[in-house]
Structure 1
């Protein structure tokens, strides 16, 4: 009962964090390892179990997503392809193949989040009169597509801090608000986790612990609803501070305790 409560509780916290900031996997994955689940089983079961939280959080941010419908239609298919590629990599590459580069990716994401406002101001100053704010075209659209595919592959493989990296990338390339970017981030992460989960169910059923999946799903779905309700009320500066705090903790955890 203690184990069940801990796994479900970790799912709730992860669902809440994923919607507001990202990096919920850094809560659930260590908890599963603590209770003795093999890393591959923990990773696969965690990915499937957190899908419910991703979907409930995306539903909660549906208002912000309406303003991003054009960009979402372009980036979601790219993100899904990346998720399938990453899930495939998890099944064929050594388990620790990405462990060395993950901290550097997270740090890069934090730098992008912090630098985003200054870059956005410069982008607005250079924009042509009457240009639609946040509209991606030309080289910036190509950079967004490439970056979202790579991050989708990373998310399908492991996914910790995928949301932080997405917010950082889009914050550099667009002039959208943090809440708007958070809604788009939730949609892309939900898509990646869903296709990765589907891939695992089809080709890696032996690595799925369905009890863990059920406990995480219940906790994460509730956490996603709570996060979407209260996370949208946070100010942009507070959201950036939360992203930096969670991302920094993630780096410390991966470098010194993994």
Structure 2
């Protein structure tokens, strides 16, 4: 596709040049992405990490290069599942917690996206791995 310019004015290869297949079938990545989306729509835990892992293995995509795509897909998964849960439950009876959650999620998503765009890819991978490890240990300890 060519090159694009990032926020700092540096030229970078487009997404198609940043990917290099690693031997997964062409169908395996979309199937894996679908399964991750189903899991994410129900549970939501570590979905972004699973996406990064799938894309790293299946496409050879760098974490930083895939971050905007990951955020967009996470937003689609969470908005879709959130809307379904919202209208099929009695959650609309308590609007204040919903509005508070929406405001916090929006602020966190914006700040997190800005921060992730500025972190080096190696540091971003380290943060994701540390977050996954700490979360796993805490869930294990809580029983």
TM-score band, normalised by shorter chain: 0.7 to 0.9
From 33, 45, 69, the counterpart of 1:184: 69
Deviation at 1:139, TM superposition (A): 4.8
1:172 paired with 2:42, answer no
Cross-structure match for 1:218: 103
Between Structure 1 and Structure 2, the one with more helix by share is 1
- 1:51-110: CA deviations, max 9, x gaps? xxxxxxxxxxxxxxxx45x8xxxxxxxxxxxxxxxxxxxxxxxxxxxxxxxxxxxxxxxx
Q: Distance in 1 between matches of 2:61 and 2:119?
A: 16
SS at match of 2:26: helix
Q: Over aligned residue pairs, what C-alpha RMSD do you find?
A: 2.3
Task: For 1:197 and 1:235, locate their aligned partners in 2 and report how far apart those are by CA, in whole Å.
Answer: 31
Instruction: Kindly provide the CA deviation profile for residues 20-63 of structure 1, in whole angstroms up to 9, marking residues without a partner as x.
Output: xxxxxxxxxxxxxxxxxxxxxxxxxxxxxxxxxxxxxxxxxxxx
Moved beyond 4 Å, runs of 4+: none
Unaligned runs of 5+ in 1: 1-66, 71-131
CA distance in 1, matches of 2:99, 2:137: 29
If asked which structure has higher relative contact order (CA below 8 Å, sep 6+), I would say: 1
Q: Give the distance between the partners of 1:139 and 1:167, measured in 2 at CA.
A: 15
- Residue 143, structure 1, aligned to residue 28, structure 2: yes
- Looking at structure 2, the residues matched to 241 and 191 of structure 1 have their Cα atoms a distance apart, in angstroms, of 25
Q: Deviations over 1:177-198 (max 9, x none)?
A: 2112111111111111111112
Aligned counterpart for 2:114 among listed residues 229, 247, 256: 229
Q: Which residue of 2 aligns with 1:199?
A: 84
Number of residue pairs the alignment of both structures matches: 129
Instruction: Give the conservation status (yes or no) of the 8 Å contact 1:161–1:247.
Output: yes
Gaps of at least 5 residues in structure 2 are: 1-13
TM-score by length of 1: 0.46
The alpha carbon displacement at 1:245 in A equals: 0.6
CA gap 1:162/1:139 in 2 versus in 1, 3 angstroms? same
Partner of 1:160: 45
Match of 1:32 in 2: none
Shift of 1:135: 5.9
